[in-house]
Structure 1
Amino acid sequence: MRSAPAGATAPTQQQAVLGHPKGLAFLFATEMWERFSYYGMRSLLVLYMVHYLLLEDRSQNVVGYTTLKSVLEGLFGPLGVQPFSSHIYGLYSAFVYLTPILGGLIADRWLGQRRTVILGAALMAIGHFMMAFETLFLLALVVLILGSGAFKPNISTQVGGLYAPGDRRRDRAFSIFYVGINLGAFLAPLVCGTLGENYGWHYGFTAAGVGMMLGLAIYLIGLPNLPHDRVRLRCDEPRKPLDRDEWRAIMALAMLFLPVTLFWATYEQQGNTIALWANVNTDRSINLLVWRGEIPTTWFQAFNPFMIFAFTPLIVALWSWQAKRNSEPSTIVKMALGCFGVALANLILVLAAWHSGADKASWLWLLAFFAVITIGELYISPIGLSLVTKIAPGRLVSMLMGIWLATSFVGNFISGWLGSFWSAMDKSLFFMMIAAIATFAGIVIWSFDRILKPILKE
């Protein structure tokens, strides 16, 4: 695979599919299966550790268990099964979003986006299959982290590379791409979660590996329709210093780093403490004409991605309606509103915990929680991805995408630490704490609106 010169983007001949380059369909499908594998494993991870793997009779067989627990207990004090599981969840989901810096650098400097995506997909498939073996659990997480680091920044960068500078379809393309992310995330708990809960944890993890293999196959088939590598800097090539506008763009992203980190710290409780709330504190019984029984715990992880499908067209239509009336929120205000959405969602669970008292809360409270947090997510996550491809210097786009994704590294690390208080705290106070952090993040982002508008050219 030969790289294009710096600044090259899409292949010269691109067939349109629904008004977008054909390559978008292949990137959509590849990302869908990658997210299927990630969220399939994530839907099982905390439950697997709390209810099975980290119980005393099994945990000692896990390679690296004793060392990791000693390190974490040296930092945080004695840890029971749930707090220890929360820290592992936080570390895993955090490093998944740190290694994209390395993956972006490797792509920009040496391998190019295409080769790096292929390497990442292969590593992730191997990691998911390793999860089927209890002794390799922690090693499998390391392989998955490295694979995700190679994959994530470069698949997102290639979406932007399909469009010329100034192409108005770019934002819509990222919204479409985001639907692909959430289609995989919706199917994952229903398939991997059901297999893991009902037939054995390892069946769920294996299904995640199969999904990643399908994603890799689709990517390889679609290569002729994908963007050429945008930048390849060789060690012997002279490098021009960044100009003033490029530095301003980098500073704009840096200013948003901390508050966006806090957004992810609160949002990512979904796979951790929210899963435990659904499992232990929620009345999951359902009595409908077509179904009577109990909703499996992992299926609640499908609520959010399903609502992405339902709400994305409505949100996009709202923005279009507002744009016609010159009232569409700026990029920064949209991101602030996303944080406020997470705060409101957690306040709903504050009411749920208060209303239910010592009893279990109705699953309808969780339905409302996921509806509100999904709207918040749509106001910040795809907007942030599009923002990076708009303003990042072309020669650094993959690395800066990796740095942007690193907001989730810090956020997920904090998320795991926050989740470790779950067992000891009153649930109303816990959700109130999460809501307060999200509100603070929203206020900080909103305060940057006037400062960053000239840089973002809005």
Structure 2
Amino acid sequence: MAQSTASAPTETRGHPKGLYLLFTTEMWERMSYYGMRALLVLYMVSASDKHGFGWSQSKALEIYGIYTGLVYLTPVVGGFLADRYLGQRLSVVIGGILMMLGQFVLAMPGTVEALFYAGLGLLVVGNGFFKANISTMVGGLYAPGDARRDGAFTIFYMGINLGALLASAVCGTLGEKFGWTWGFGSAGVGMGLGVVIFLAFANRLLGDVGKAPKKVESKTGAPAVSSAALTREEKDRIVVIFVLALFVVFFWAAFEQAGGLMNLYTDAKVDRSVFGWEVPTTWFQAVNPIFILLLGPIFAELWTGLGRRSKDPSIPAKMAMGLLLVSFGFVFMLGASKQSDASGKAALFWVVAAYFFHTAGELCLSPVGLSMVTKLAPVKYASALMGVWFVANAVANYLAGLIGGYAEKMGEFDLFLAITVATAAAGGVLLAIAPMLKRMMHGADEARPAVAQPATGAESKPGIQAA
């Protein structure tokens, strides 16, 4: 079956210009999401005059897990609606508007529980429309076999983390220092800016990418998507997506302790004093995005360069590396726990070192995983399978909240040790079966020269390639 990308405009710096629009839109959306995430658990456990709910740590982490799990579950529905009825571009706009409204509901002074849950609900539904579809559009900018695709997703991933950095600097600071209303409200403003920028430049920079749902895309000038039954190769590739999704549950269940247990641990048991000044707890949520911005260009160039020389590790092997690196990062949390148990407070070094290795693991796994789905998924199921990929995140985030809640019962050291062992074991198993999974991809992850599609009476448009 021929695969194609819709027409895209000219390129800049080796990538289509539309990549940088999607980068910017995702940056503002992530500023909104991570700004709220940095505050959410602290807000729920707070009983101060800033109008927190004063809930227990275990209850707050359970709600945090349910919320973040639903955030990654609804993209399955959003991807299906985009593929069948709305198109990816309209879905992104709808999702952005709903998330903006959700943040503003949370920002209402003296929010009662009913409004609190309503705000979270708007964020969950909005993210369902937004998340899978903007990621799928990144893949739509590149022809099958384009060696730049993994690098493009790493660049896109830097936009995610630039937004996360802004979230800590702006939303976290305003919420922690001046009140929750200011923090949540600034997150809503950030999401609104993302929608405005996307609407202003989408037609100019994205061409036809994401404009029409797949079932009617042929009317826009792009090749029609085949309605034929899936081939054996396509079925094998879908199986690979599901197998890898199972392993990334282990990764994200560990990694997402950053917004829950590690956030609370840093607040209570880490010496945050630097030259006599106490670093706000929410600022530690910026450590990961800072490392992403520093390491992202290195990883992007590494994958692209290795791909050009046909030495790129397979996608399963990269993801196994990610699991092993996040496991090693939790070794430093074991050191932090030992020190805080002995002296009451742990040094900053332990947490920062843990975030460094978590970030390196994230760069091996997350942007590569997004790119992988766009390579392996049949075109007619592209957004829906991207949504399925986020189901793994949904399960992992829910588990992250449940796992973090056990710290009150078993202690941080034993919990960090269990996470270390589980992620190391998962990484070892995935590394062992990586060659088999690579064979089941049937060459979809191999860079190869793109073959231009012949003109059909009209001027050929850049970006339309035959598999």
- Is TM > 0.5 for Structure 1 vs Structure 2? yes
Is structure 2 residue 7 aligned with structure 1 residue 11?
A: yes
Q: Which residue of 1 aligns with 2:156?
A: 177
SS at match of 1:423: helix
Superposed CA offset, 1:412-450 (max 9, x none): 111111011122222211111111221122123223212
Q: Which residue of 2 aligns with 1:66?
A: none
What is the rounded CA distance, in whole Å, between the counterparts of 1:326 and 1:116 in structure 2?
A: 37
Q: Which residue of 1 aligns with 2:268?
A: 280
Q: In the superposition, relative to structure 1, how do residues 242 and 52 fare at CA in structure 2: closer, same or farther (>3 Å)?
A: farther
Q: Which residue of 1 aligns with 2:36?
A: 41
Is structure 2 residue 321 aligned with structure 1 residue 337?
A: yes
Asked if 1 retains the 8 angstrom alpha-carbon contact of 2:172 and 2:283, the reply is yes
Superposed CA offset, 1:316-372 (max 9, x none): 444466668865422111101101111111111101211342420111111111111
Q: CA deviation at 1:274?
A: 0.6
Asked if 1 retains the 8 angstrom alpha-carbon contact of 2:271 and 2:347, the reply is yes
Task: Kindly report which structure 2 residues correspond to 1:17-32, keeping only aligned pairs within 5 A, or say none.
Answer: 17-32=12-27
Asked if 2 retains the 8 angstrom alpha-carbon contact of 1:8 and 1:230, the reply is no
Q: How many residues are aligned here?
A: 426
Q: Which residue of 1 aligns with 2:171?
A: 192
Is structure 2 residue 244 aligned with structure 1 residue 256?
A: yes
Asked if 2 retains the 8 angstrom alpha-carbon contact of 1:95 and 1:145, the reply is yes
SS at match of 1:450: helix
SS at match of 1:379: helix
Deviates most, 273-282 or 222-231: 222-231
Q: Which residue of 2 aligns with 1:147?
A: 126
What is the rounded CA distance, in whole Å, between the counterparts of 1:205 and 1:400 in structure 2?
A: 31
Q: What amino acid is the match of 1:176?
A: I
Task: Kindly report which structure 2 residues correspond to 1:303-382, keeping only aligned pairs within 5 A, or say none.
Answer: 303-319=287-303, 328-356=312-340, 357-382=342-367
Q: In the superposition, relative to structure 1, how do residues 326 and 172 fare at CA in structure 2: closer, same or farther (>3 Å)?
A: closer
What is the rounded CA distance, in whole Å, between the counterparts of 1:320 and 1:157 in structure 2?
A: 19
Q: In the superposition, relative to structure 1, how do residues 196 and 393 fare at CA in structure 2: closer, same or farther (>3 Å)?
A: same
Matching residue within 390, 402, 416 for 2:375? 390
Q: What amino acid is the match of 2:214?
A: R
Q: What amino acid is the match of 2:34?
A: Y
Q: CA deviation at 1:42?
A: 0.3
What is the rounded CA distance, in whole Å, between the counterparts of 2:152 and 2:77 in structure 1?
A: 26
Q: Which residue of 1 aligns with 2:259?
A: 271
Matching residue within 233, 237, 240 for 2:215? 233
What is the rounded CA distance, in whole Å, between the counterparts of 2:25 and 2:191 in structure 1?
A: 8
Asked if 2 retains the 8 angstrom alpha-carbon contact of 1:122 and 1:216, the reply is yes
What is the rounded CA distance, in whole Å, between the counterparts of 2:365 and 2:199 in structure 1?
A: 31
Matching residue within 92, 104, 110 for 1:117? 92
Q: In the superposition, relative to structure 1, how do residues 274 and 186 fare at CA in structure 2: closer, same or farther (>3 Å)?
A: same
Q: CA RMSD in A?
A: 2.2
What is the rounded CA distance, in whole Å, between the counterparts of 1:330 and 1:308 in structure 2?
A: 22
SS at match of 2:229: coil
What is the rounded CA distance, in whole Å, between the counterparts of 1:317 and 1:160 in structure 2?
A: 18
Q: CA deviation at 1:171?
A: 1.5
Q: Which residue of 1 aligns with 2:185?
A: 206
Q: What amino acid is the match of 1:11?
A: S
Q: CA deviation at 1:231?
A: 4.6
Task: Kindly report which structure 2 residues correspond to 1:65-84, keeping only aligned pairs within 5 A, or say none.
Answer: 81-84=56-59
Q: CA deviation at 1:296?
A: 0.5
Is structure 2 residue 75 aligned with structure 1 residue 100?
A: yes
Q: CA deviation at 1:245?
A: 1.6
Consecutive unaligned residues of structure 1, counting only runs of 5 or more, are 1-5, 61-79
Q: What amino acid is the match of 2:80?
A: L
Deviates most, 247-256 or 319-328: 319-328
Q: What amino acid is the match of 1:241?
A: A
Matching residue within 407, 411, 414 for 1:426? 411
Q: CA deviation at 1:187?
A: 1.1
Matching residue within 209, 214, 221 for 2:200? 221
Q: What amino acid is the match of 1:233?
A: K
Superposed CA offset, 1:75-132 (max 9, x none): xxxxx71101001000010000000000000001111111111110110000010111
Q: CA deviation at 1:223?
A: 1.7
Matching residue within 393, 404, 412 for 1:408? 393
Calculate percent identity across the aligned residue pairs.
45
SS at match of 2:215: coil
Q: In the superposition, relative to structure 1, how do residues 54 and 271 fare at CA in structure 2: closer, same or farther (>3 Å)?
A: farther
Q: CA deviation at 1:406?
A: 0.9
Consecutive unaligned residues of structure 2, counting only runs of 5 or more, are 217-224, 447-467
Deviates most, 27-36 or 307-316: 307-316
What is the rounded CA distance, in whole Å, between the counterparts of 2:303 and 2:79 in structure 1?
A: 31
Q: CA deviation at 1:219?
A: 0.7
Q: In the superposition, relative to structure 1, how do residues 432 and 144 fare at CA in structure 2: closer, same or farther (>3 Å)?
A: same
Asked if 2 retains the 8 angstrom alpha-carbon contact of 1:28 and 1:177, the reply is yes
Asked if 1 retains the 8 angstrom alpha-carbon contact of 2:76 and 2:387, the reply is yes
Q: CA deviation at 1:266?
A: 0.7
Q: What amino acid is the match of 1:260?
A: V
Q: What amino acid is the match of 1:164?
A: A
Asked if 2 retains the 8 angstrom alpha-carbon contact of 1:183 and 1:305, the reply is yes
Deviates most, 217-226 or 205-214: 217-226
Q: What amino acid is the match of 2:318?
A: K
SS at match of 1:163: coil
Q: Which residue of 1 aligns with 2:462?
A: none
Q: TM-score, normalised by structure 1?
A: 0.88
